[in-house]
């Protein structure tokens, strides 16, 4: 996934790669406004599923995906940018962006989980554990798989490695 920001526009270049052969099996470019990031993600997901011959997501599944993003367009933009900074190993910038998201939407579990990862990357283990614990408190309404990912991260930040490994195994 490559994310490109230009003013108020966003471009997603999504590639699906066969992990065995290295072959790119699907490549999808999708463009739109930053405020419409959910629609961009949904459109790219639908195109990928079509090209791979998979069924479309149900309306209930789409609601679950929507819950994984902040509600307000400005919080979504900061969240996406924070995740991008995390992927680029720019944890300090990610912390700033994700803290802003947490202030704007304090009930968004994924923002707290991402902020935990950013603090963890900087070596602030106590702060990471606090954010991971908060993310877990807020994850109750999320789909099971997303809740387990957040729980596994929280367990790891709490030093509960056996439980974290068991959760990751169940997800695998």
- Read off the pLDDT of residues 13-66 as tens digits, 9 standing for 90 and up: 889 999 999 999 999 888 888 777 777 878 888 899 999 999 988 887 777 777
Beta bridge partners of 30: 12
Dump pLDDT digits (tens) for 66-125: 777 898 889 988 999 999 999 999 999 999 999 999 999 999 999 999 999 999 999 999
pLDDT over 70 percentage in the chain: 98
Query: Token digits for 4?
Result: 């490109």
- The whole-angstrom separation of Cα 113 and Cα 101 is 12
What is the 8-class DSSP label of residue 15?
Answer: E
Distance of CA 106 to the CA centre of its chain: 16
* The pLDDT value given to residue 66: 73
**Is the sign of the CA dihedral 108, 109, 110, 112 positive or negative?**
positive
Left (φ > 0), alpha (ψ -120 to 50) or beta: where does 7 sit?
left
């Amino acid at each position: 996934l490559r994310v490109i920001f230009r003013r108020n526009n966003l471009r997603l270049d999504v590639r699906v790669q066969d992990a065995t052969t290295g072959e790119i099996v699907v490549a999808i470019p999708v463009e739109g406004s930053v405020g419409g990031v959910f629609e961009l993600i949904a459109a790219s997901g639908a195109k990928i599923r079509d090209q791979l011959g998979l069924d479309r997501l149900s309306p209930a599944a789409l609601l679950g995906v929507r819950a994984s993003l902040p509600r307000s367009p400005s919080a979504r933009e900061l969240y996406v940018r924070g995740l991008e900074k995390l992927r680029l190993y720019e944890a300090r910038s990610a912390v700033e962006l994700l803290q802003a998201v947490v202030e704007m939407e304090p009930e968004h579990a994924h923002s707290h989980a991402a902020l935990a990862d950013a603090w963890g990357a900087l070596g602030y283990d106590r702060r990471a554990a606090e954010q991971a614990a908060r993310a877990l408190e807020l994850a109750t309404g999320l789909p099971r798989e997303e809740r387990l990912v957040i729980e596994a991260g929280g367990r790891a930040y709490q030093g509960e490695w056996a439980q974290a490994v068991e959760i990751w195994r169940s997800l695998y």
